[in-house]
C-alpha cells in the first residue's frame, strides 16, 4: 500500500481500493491533487480507467451475494465500527479534508462528524428493514412482502463534501446489503480513500466497498452506467451531469438516485425575528464559501425591512475572515478551482452591469489565487443570471419583494427545487409558505437543515430520491411480494 505522509497528519492512501486491495492504475498513471488555498500539489493519486473500473464491478458482483446474506446485526456492527474509527480520527481526517477542499478546519471537522453520523444512523436502520404481511383475497394463501438489496451500486460524489456525501450513500447501501463502488471527485479523492482505509479496518469485506479515483470522470462514469452488473447509480453533483448519467442509465434500466443543483430562495418577511434571519442567512449563504447545493442563492427581503436587513447583513459579511482554512478563525476559504472563481466573477459582473449594487466585497481576495471576497449585492432583480443560476460562490444577492403570494411565485420560478428557507413569526404564513414552496426541503426560521435523521433531496430538476432518514434505505431496497399458496387441507 502506497501512502503519503509528507503533507498530512496521518498516512493517506494514494492508490485505488479494489476488492480489498490497494492498487496502482494499470498503466501506473497518477493525477495531482492540489490544495486550493495555496496552489501546492499535495498528492499524486492512482488515475483509474476502464479496466480498473470493470475489475471493481466484478469484485462487487462477486461479493454481493455474501454481503446480502449477512445478518442485519453483522452489517450494523461493521458500520458502527467504521463510524467509531472515523470519529476517533476526526481531527486528522478534517485536516486532510481542509487541505484538499479548502474549507475552514472547523467546518471540515463538522463534516467528518456529519459523515460519521450517517454511518451511525444507517447502522441503526439496518436492523429495521421490516417487511409486511397483507390480508390475502383467498383463504388458502398468505401474502408476504420482504425487502432485499438492489445489488451492486455505483456512487459518484462531489468535491464540496468529500466525506459526508459519500458516507450517506455508503452507509445506506451497506446497511441495505448492497455493495458499492465509489468514484470520488477528481479535486478531492483523498477523503474517500481515507474512508476506504477505515472501512477496511472496520472489517468491511473485500469487494463490498471499493474506491476508484480518476481524472477521467466521464470515462469511468460510462463504464459504471453501461454495466449490466451495476444495478443502481447514486450521484450528487450538478444537474447537467445528473442528466447525462440518467440518460446513460436508461439502456440498462438502472435505478437512479440524483441529488443535483439548487437555487435556494431565502425569504425574510417583515414580521420575522430579524436577528434570527440574519444569523440564518449567514449560515445558509456562507458555509463552505457558498459552495453547497442548499446555499441561499436568492435572498428575498420584504420592503419594510429591506434597508435594515441589507445594512446589518452587509456589516456581518464584511467582518467575515477570509483565509486558508487552516488559519485559526478562518470563515471563508477559497473557491475549489479556477472554474469556480471565474463563475463567481462572471455572475458578479453580469449582475453589476444589469444594475445591481455592490454593498461589500465584489472582487477577488488577496488571501490567494482562488479566494473571493464575501459579497453582498443589493437591487438584484429576478431576471439577472445571478438569480437564475446556481452561484456556488460567496455572493449574496438581495431582492426586494412586497407580498407573500408574489414571493412564493418568484421563489418557485426556477427549474430547481432542492432547499428553501423562510423567516416569519406568523404561524399561518409559515404553513402557507412552507406548503407553497416547490422544494424538497424547507427551513422555517432555520438556515441549516441537513441532518442524518431527515430526508435530504429535491424535486423538479434538483433530483430523484431521498438520502438519510428512514426513507434513505428505500432507494437501496427492492420490494419482493411472495404468495404462499396451497394452505387448504
Ligand atoms: P461540479 O460542477 O460541482 O464539479 P459535477 O457534477 O461536475 O459538479 O461533479 C460531480 C461529480 O461528477 C464528480 O465526481 C465529477 O468527477 C463527476 N462527473 C463529472 N462529469 C461526469 C461525467 N460526464 N460522467 C460521470 N461523472 C462525472
Q: Is residue 146 part of a domain?
A: yes
What pLDDT score was predicted for residue 489? 82
Same domain membership, residue 90 and residue 235: yes
User: Is the minimum distance from the CB of 237 to ligand 1 under 6 angstroms?
Assistant: yes
User: Is the minimum distance from the CB of 244 to ligand 1 under 6 angstroms?
Assistant: yes
User: Is the minimum distance from the CB of 246 to ligand 1 under 6 angstroms?
Assistant: no
User: Is the minimum distance from the CB of 186 to ligand 1 under 6 angstroms?
Assistant: yes
Is 293 annotated in the active site? yes
Same domain membership, residue 203 and residue 181: yes
> Is 90 exceeded by the pLDDT of residue 376?
yes
What pLDDT score was predicted for residue 77? 98
H or E segment and range at residue 321? none
Is 259 annotated in the active site? yes
What pLDDT score was predicted for residue 276? 98
* Per-residue burial over 48-71, b = 16 or more CB atoms within 10 Å of its CB, e = otherwise: bbeebbebbbbbbbebbeebbebe
The residue written with cell numbers 491533487 in the block is: 33
What is the signed CA dihedral for 280, 281, 283, 287, rounded to 10 degrees? 160
Same domain membership, residue 255 and residue 106: yes
Q: What percent of the chain is modeled with pLDDT above 90?
A: 99
H or E segment and range at residue 79? helix 72-88
Nearest CA to ligand 1 atom 2: 238
Same domain membership, residue 349 and residue 254: no
Mean of pLDDT over the chain: 98
Confidence of residue 145 (pLDDT cuts 50, 70, 90): very high
Nearest CA to ligand 1 atom 17: 217
Instruction: Tell me what the mean pLDDT of segment 65-89 comes to.
Output: 98
CATH number, position 326: 3.40.309.10
- Condensed to tens digits (0 to 9), the pLDDT of residues 190-226 reads 999 999 999 999 999 999 999 999 999 999 999 999 9
- Condensed to tens digits (0 to 9), the pLDDT of residues 245-269 reads 999 999 999 999 999 999 999 999 9
Q: Is the distance from CB of 118 to CB of 451 less than 8 angstroms?
A: no
CATH number, position 187: 3.40.605.10
> Is 90 exceeded by the pLDDT of residue 7?
no
Three-state helix/strand/coil letters over 230-243: CCEEEEECCHHHHH
Nearest CA to ligand 1 atom 18: 217
Radius of gyration of the chain from its Cα atoms, rounded to whole angstroms: 23
Which domain does 337 fall in, by range? 264-452
> Is 90 exceeded by the pLDDT of residue 348?
yes
Q: Is residue 457 part of a domain?
A: no
Tally of structural domains, the chain = 2
Same domain membership, residue 281 and residue 216: no
Q: Which of 48, 153, 178, 293 is catalytic?
A: 293
- Condensed to tens digits (0 to 9), the pLDDT of residues 296-338 reads 999 999 999 999 999 999 999 999 999 999 999 999 999 999 9
Confidence of residue 6 (pLDDT cuts 50, 70, 90): confident
- Condensed to tens digits (0 to 9), the pLDDT of residues 14-43 reads 999 999 999 999 999 999 999 999 999 999
Instruction: Tell me what the mean pLDDT of segment 146-165 comes to.
Output: 98
User: Is the minimum distance from the CB of 218 to ligand 1 under 6 angstroms?
Assistant: yes
Q: Give the predicted TM-score (pTM) of the model.
A: 0.98
> Is 90 exceeded by the pLDDT of residue 482?
yes
What pLDDT score was predicted for residue 101? 98
Q: Is residue 486 part of a domain?
A: no
Instruction: Tell me what the mean pLDDT of segment 275-300 comes to.
Output: 98
Amino acid at each position: 500500500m502506497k501512502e503519503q505522509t509528507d503533507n498530512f497528519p496521518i498516512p493517506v492512501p494514494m492508490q485505488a481500493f479494489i476488492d480489498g486491495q490497494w492498487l496502482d492504475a494499470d498503466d501506473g498513471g497518477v493525477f495531482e491533487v492540489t490544495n486550493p488555498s495555496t496552489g501546492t500539489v499535495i498528492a499524486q493519486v492512482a488515475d483509474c480507467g476502464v479496466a480498473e473500473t470493470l475489475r471493481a464491478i466484478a469484485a462487487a458482483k462477486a461479493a454481493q451475494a455474501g454481503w446480502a446474506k449477512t445478518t442485519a446485526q453483522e452489517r450494523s456492527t461493521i458500520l458502527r465500527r467504521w463510524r467509531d474509527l472515523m470519529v476517533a480520527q476526526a481531527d486528522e481526517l478534517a485536516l486532510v479534508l481542509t487541505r484538499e477542499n479548502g474549507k475552514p478546519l472547523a467546518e471540515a471537522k463538522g463534516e467528518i462528524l456529519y459523515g460519521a453520523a450517517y454511518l451511525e444512523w444507517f447502522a441503526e436502520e439496518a436492523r429495521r428493514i421490516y417487511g409486511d404481511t397483507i390480508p390475502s383475497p383467498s383463504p388458502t394463501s398468505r401474502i408476504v412482502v420482504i425487502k432485499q438489496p438492489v445489488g451492486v451500486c455505483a456512487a459518484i460524489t462531489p468535491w464540496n463534501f468529500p466525506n459526508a456525501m459519500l458516507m450517506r450513500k455508503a452507509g445506506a447501501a451497506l446497511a441495505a446489503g448492497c455493495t458499492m463502488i465509489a468514484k470520488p471527485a477528481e479535486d478531492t479523492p483523498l477523503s474517500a480513500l481515507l474512508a476506504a482505509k477505515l472501512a477496511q479496518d472496520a472489517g468491511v469485506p473485500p469487494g463490498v466497498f471499493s474506491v476508484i479515483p480518476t481524472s477521467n470522470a466521464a470515462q469511468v462514469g460510462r463504464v459504471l452506467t453501461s454495466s449490466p452488473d451495476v444495478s443502481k447509480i447514486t450521484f450528487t453533483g450538478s444537474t447537467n451531469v445528473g442528466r447525462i448519467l440518467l440518460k446513460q442509465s436508461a439502456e440498462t434500466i438502472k435505478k437512479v438516485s440524483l441529488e443535483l443543483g439548487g437555487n435556494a430562495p431565502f425569504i425574510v418577511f417583515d414580521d420575522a425575528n430579524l436577528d434570527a434571519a440574519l444569523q440564518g442567512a449567514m449560515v445558509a449563504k456562507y458555509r463552505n464559501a457558498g459552495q453547497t447545493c442548499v446555499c441561499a442563492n436568492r435572498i428575498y427581503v420584504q420592503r419594510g425591512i429591506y434597508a435594515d436587513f441589507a445594512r446589518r447583513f452587509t456589516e456581518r459579511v464584511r467582518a467575515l475572515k477570509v483565509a486558508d482554512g487552516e488559519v485559526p478563525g478562518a470563515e471563508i476559504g477559497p473557491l475549489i478551482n479556477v472554474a469556480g472563481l471565474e463563475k463567481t466573477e462572471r455572475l458578479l459582473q453580469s449582475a453589476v452591469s444589469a444594475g445591481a449594487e455592490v454593498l461589500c466585497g465584489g472582487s477577488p481576495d488577496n488571501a490567494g489565487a482562488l479566494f473571493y471576497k464575501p459579497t453582498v449585492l443589493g437591487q438584484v432583480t429576478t431576471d439577472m443570471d445571478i438569480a437564475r443560476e446556481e452561484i456556488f460562490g460567496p455572493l449574496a444577492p438581495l431582492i426586494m419583494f412586497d407580498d407573500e403570494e408574489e414571493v412564493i411565485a418568484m421563489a418557485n420560478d426556477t427549474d430547481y427545487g432542492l432547499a428553501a428557507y423562510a423567516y416569519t413569526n406568523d404561524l399561518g404564513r409559515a404553513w402557507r409558505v412552507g406548503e407553497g414552496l416547490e422544494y424538497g426541503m424547507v427551513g422555517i426560521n432555520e438556515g441549516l437543515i441537513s441532518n442524518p435523521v431527515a430526508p435530504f433531496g429535491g424535486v423538479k430538476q434538483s433530483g430523484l430520491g431521498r438520502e438519510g432518514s428512514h426513507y434513505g434505505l428505500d432507494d437501496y431496497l427492492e420490494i419482493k411480494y411472495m404468495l404462499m399458496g396451497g394452505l387448504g387441507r
